[in-house]
Amino acid sequence: MPMIVNTAAYHFVSIADAEALSAQLLERARAGALRGTILVSAEGLNLFLAGSGEGIDSFYRQLHADPRFSAMRVKYSHSRMQPFARLKAKVKQEIIRFGREDAQPLEHARAPAVDPRTLQRWLRQGHDDAGKPVVMLDTRNEQEIAHGTFAGALTLPIVKFTDLPEALAPHRSALADATVVSFCTGGIRCEKAALWMRNDGMANVLQLDGGILGYFEAVGGEGYDGRCFVFDERVALDAQLQPLVDRDEATCAA
């Protein structure tokens, strides 16, 4: 039985025609029999789509042909089951809600990032290349963290992303002499979080390029305990990007 191709992608770029783009992408996804979520805002695009390899390839080939999204990175994984019940498209004020003027990607330079292989080396040696301790800062919520996180990471008791600034406040002084690496599932939240922290005076903050899923793709699960929660019926992925919950059609019919 052919496997379902699951994708996650986001890109911060100015979009003047959010309503029209949302409708266009919805029709393309329908034409490819895809399911999932399309989020569009003036600040960019955030996608969670799954379907056949042919449908996925066609959708992203057309999307990458648009100069605004030619550099958009797509993360792939596979499952026997379709993890989304339906297809929907929405226009939002932000493609991930944070509500901070000092974390607007279109108004500020992108925060510096660390790539997965460099982070793997830092975690192995116990410090960065300047000899500073590395603190992994989880920007996800408690539900996600319960399934897994980086070993020794600083986790915060938050329910939603907008809670992060207040929850981080008591820890800021203790982080002053470390290299702080913010991370999340696919990179979108830690990108905004790192931008906000640097603009708020924390010059020692980096973001993990590609998030946890990008780390799994590049180096596997070294330094990570457990699975990575995803917001669909797969529940969570292991370091080989295999779902915690997966069923073929026969199992679902039974």
Active site residue 184: yes
Catalytic residue among 184, 190, 228, 252: 184
3-state secondary structure of 211: helix
State how far the alpha carbon of 237 is from the alpha carbons of 12, 18, 98, 132, in Å.
25, 31, 25, 31
- Torsion region of 148: left, alpha or beta (phi above 0 gives left; psi -120 to 50 gives alpha): left
Please give the single-letter amino acid code of residue 79: S
**Which strands form 4-12's sheet, in the order they lie side by side?**
74-79, 4-12, 44-51, 35-41, 87-91
Using CB atoms within 10 A of its CB, is residue 176 exposed (0-12), middle (13-18) or buried (19+)? exposed
Residue with tokens 């010059």: 203
Q: Which residues are catalytic?
A: 184
